[in-house]
């Protein structure tokens, strides 16, 4: 078995993984992802016990127990590039022997749930409701740097490219399904809608916002809004889900993304109390994980 070089698997002097500042024993088998580092304690305040906490850069982690279940909550920061760091380093913690720098023969599958904020693209999904992403739709191109053909839904992608007249200058969009078992476990709430969560590579132009710069395709958002394939439609837009789904599926982890709708792009509304709505989603998700 080949040894992974120091330049490829980077460790801190104390043996922890480079960016996340974690050792294998610091992380639970179920990990909640949040974007904002300040949201980590907002999740962990519900824990019955907290055994570990660390932070390096935007990556903050707290591990403890909730109703007897060991959980970790980790802030990823914003964007697919950060997800690439988080997913690879988390996987290394459980599936690579860090001392020997060798891939383990027996692989562990983590359960990963994103609790994020998002904007709805559909008028009938109001603010303060939640979206469970059955699929992630990636505009970012990050996943194409991996051998990923086995996990992307090519028929979805082909239909989307045709529907939107997608520019050949942009990365080819990709669709990846969530873990259905985990998705069904998290479903069922009165405020929970299901659909396709689109993941943009930026906040302004890539999400159709115009300040001083013109867009390559000013009508793209409206094309995304009315895309439908096999009964699935694009419900919301954010910056992490598709990367989580793609890398999780390639690595053998279970992933599902839960998004609190704090803005509705279709009718121009914004939540009057987004913090309350996010708190409700946190409580809902934690309870579903321990049912």
* Residue spans of beta strands (DSSP E) within 27-145: 30-34, 49-56, 59-66, 69-75, 96-97, 102-103, 111-120, 130-138
CA gap 173, 168 in Å, rounded: 11
SS3 (DSSP) at 107? coil
Name the CATH superfamily housing domain 24-290: Nucleoside phosphorylase domain (3.40.50.1580)
Angle at 139 between CA 91 and CA 253, to 5 degrees: 20
Q: What pLDDT tens digit does each residue of the chain (291 aa) get?
A: 689 999 999 999 999 999 999 999 999 999 999 999 999 999 999 999 999 999 999 999 999 999 999 999 999 999 999 999 999 999 999 999 999 999 999 999 999 999 999 989 999 999 999 999 999 999 999 999 999 999 999 999 999 999 999 999 999 999 999 999 999 999 998 999 999 999 999 999 999 999 999 999 999 999 999 999 999 999 999 999 999 999 999 999 999 999 999 999 888 899 999 999 999 999 999 999 999
Residue ranges of alpha helices (H) inside 64-217 are 80-95, 154-164, 180-186
pTM: 0.96
- pLDDT in the model for residue 25: 98
Task: Provide the terminal-to-terminal Cα distance of the chain, rounded to the nearest Å.
Answer: 40
CA gap 213, 265 in Å, rounded: 19
Beta bridge partners of 269: 264
- pLDDT in the model for residue 1: 64
* 212 burial via Cβ count (<10 Å: 0-12, 13-18, 19+): exposed
99, 102, 107, 108 alpha-carbon torsion, rounded to 10° = 30
- pLDDT in the model for residue 266: 85
CA gap 140, 235 in Å, rounded: 18
Which region holds residue 240: left if phi is over 0, alpha if psi is between -120 and 50, else beta? alpha
- pLDDT in the model for residue 173: 98
Report whether 239 contacts 197 (CB < 8 A). no
Domains of the chain, residue spans: 24-290
Report whether 235 contacts 125 (CB < 8 A). yes
Q: φ and ψ at 55, to 5 degrees?
A: -150, 140
């Amino acid at each position: 078995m080949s040894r992974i070089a120091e330049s490829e698997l980077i460790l801190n002097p104390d043996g922890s993984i480079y960016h996340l500042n974690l050792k294998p024993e610091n992380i639970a088998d179920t990990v909640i992802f949040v974007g904002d580092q300040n949201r980590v304690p907002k999740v962990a305040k519900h824990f019955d016990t907290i055994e570990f906490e660390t932070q390096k850069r935007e990556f903050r982690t707290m591990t403890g127990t909730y109703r007897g279940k060991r959980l970790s909550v980790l802030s990823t920061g914003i964007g697919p590039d950060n997800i690439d760091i988080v997913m690879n380093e988390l996987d290394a913690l459980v599936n690579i022997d860090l001392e020997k720098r060798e891939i383990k023969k027996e692989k562990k599958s983590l359960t990963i749930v994103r609790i994020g904020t998002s904007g709805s693209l559909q008028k009938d999904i109001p603010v303060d409701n939640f979206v469970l992403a059955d699929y992630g739709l990636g505009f970012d191109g990050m996943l194409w740097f991996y051998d990923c053909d086995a996990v992307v839904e090519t028929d979805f992608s082909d239909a989307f490219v045709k529907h939107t007249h997608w520019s050949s200058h942009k990365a080819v969009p990709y669709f990846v399904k969530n873990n259905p078992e985990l998705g069904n476990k998290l479903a069922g709430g009165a405020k929970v809608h299901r659909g396709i969560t689109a993941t943009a590579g930026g906040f302004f132009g890539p999400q159709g916002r115009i300040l001083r710069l013109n867009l390559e395709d000013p009508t793209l958002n409206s094309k995304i809004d009315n895309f439908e394939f096999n009964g699935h439609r694009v419900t919301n837009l954010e910056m992490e889900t598709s990367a989580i789904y793609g890398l999780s599926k390639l690595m053998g982890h279970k992933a599902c993304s839960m998004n609190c709708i704090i803005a509705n792009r279709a009718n121009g509304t914004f939540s009057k109390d987004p913090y309350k709505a996010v708190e409700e989603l946190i409580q809902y998700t934690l309870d579903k994980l321990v049912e």
